[in-house]
Structure 1
């Protein structure tokens, strides 16, 4: 599914804003952002990147330049911050996912994050999400949600209801005060952030789409 198709599907389903991230590249997010900027009837776009660090995956939001993969955690976070970005920690307790942050660095990564994901659409069972929610509460971090939606049918199934269109300055507070609406994809998983699958010969990429709807 192309960025153009993604935005059209999101619009049709009442999504007001999406955060688009690919694995270790910013190209898809920038393409979606350009389309949204050119047509204000489309959902607004938060550009981002799902970055593979030396100890697992983190997400940078509001970044415009690709960051090298494989960096130490602290350096990867610093690169996101240098671009004025926010750090989102995805699926911190999902033991069945190759990219999950390693156990010994989990607390450190959560401390560095602005938002901690507590719902992920491809997690098997609720245990990982419950643990992530406890971690977020203990650290006083806003709870986020995410899906592994790889196809059109999974876009916009669940979302965060917020009071206004987010900016880099307001996203964290809006998510903190927002309402998570968790639906079920055709695969039977809870969703909030849609994900597309891109599979080049060299490596797998995934596009994450955060979905926000205004109250």
Structure 2
């Protein structure tokens, strides 16, 4: 059984604060045995994480990941090790990911202020899952609405912290009935998941934002 945070940003993202090593250390400290580094429009963070964990023999599984900027909003992609061009429609992007053998999930739907898709019907037929709990939400209704559309359209739900610093890792958890990357991707598609988590405290979100501004 995997206890996973499926939405984490490293310093490979322009708004991520911490290194791969720091994020993995935080995940282990919090009892996670799986994490996906989902940097904006690049798989480099994930590839570095995979290499680091293998070299150090650490007891944590890295699911390759990336958060892709589409013309409709952000899309999480898992199981791919090469970049997909940003800027396409979410539907086109999901199809491109599928051709690479990956699995997709709508990232924080309805959170338009953070590039979450609002017109979900434009891509709901081709995505594999929906992020129904995002720990970084400011408006709780967005998570509720995400859960409603996932249920209505029979899409599996996942959760993620959307951490941009090591302190926020682990606030959004997806429990996956799996033991490796291949079985994890299969279980996400088949809905063999359980979602839990809690909101990242506003105080922590403010500190992270101030640190981002400080670093420029």
Shorter-chain TM range is 0.7 to 0.9
More helix by share: 2
Q: Which runs of 4+ in 1 moved over 6 A?
A: none
Structure 2: runs of 5+ lacking an equivalent:
1-17
Give the aligned partner of residue 68 of structure 2: 51
| TM-align CA RMSD | 2.7
What does 1:179-194 correspond to in 2, within 5 Å? 179-187=194-202
- Output the CA distance in 1 between the equivalents of 2:32 and 2:80: 21
- Output the CA distance in 1 between the equivalents of 2:157 and 2:180: 16
Alignment TM-score, normalising by the size of structure 2: 0.78
Give the aligned partner of residue 207 of structure 1: none
How far the C-alpha of 1:169 sits from its partner, in A, is 4.4
What is the aligned length?
Answer: 191
Answering whether residue 43 of structure 2 is matched by residue 26 of structure 1, we say yes
Structure 1: runs of 5+ lacking an equivalent:
190-194, 205-215
Answering whether residue 161 of structure 2 is matched by residue 144 of structure 1, we say no
CA shift digits 1:151-176 (9 cap, x unpaired)? 22211234223343243344353582
The correspondence for 1:135, drawn from 146, 149, 153, is: 149
Alignment TM-score, normalising by the size of structure 1: 0.78
Answering whether residue 168 of structure 2 is matched by residue 154 of structure 1, we say yes
The correspondence for 1:117, drawn from 131, 134, 140, is: 131
Are the counterparts in 2 of residues 119 and 145 from structure 1 also a CA contact under 8 Å? yes
Give the aligned partner of residue 93 of structure 1: 110
What does 1:1-12 correspond to in 2, within 5 Å? 1-12=18-29
- Output the CA distance in 1 between the equivalents of 2:86 and 2:157: 25
- Output the CA distance in 1 between the equivalents of 2:172 and 2:76: 19
- Output the CA distance in 1 between the equivalents of 2:187 and 2:49: 24
What does 1:159-178 correspond to in 2, within 5 Å? 159-173=173-187, 176-178=191-193
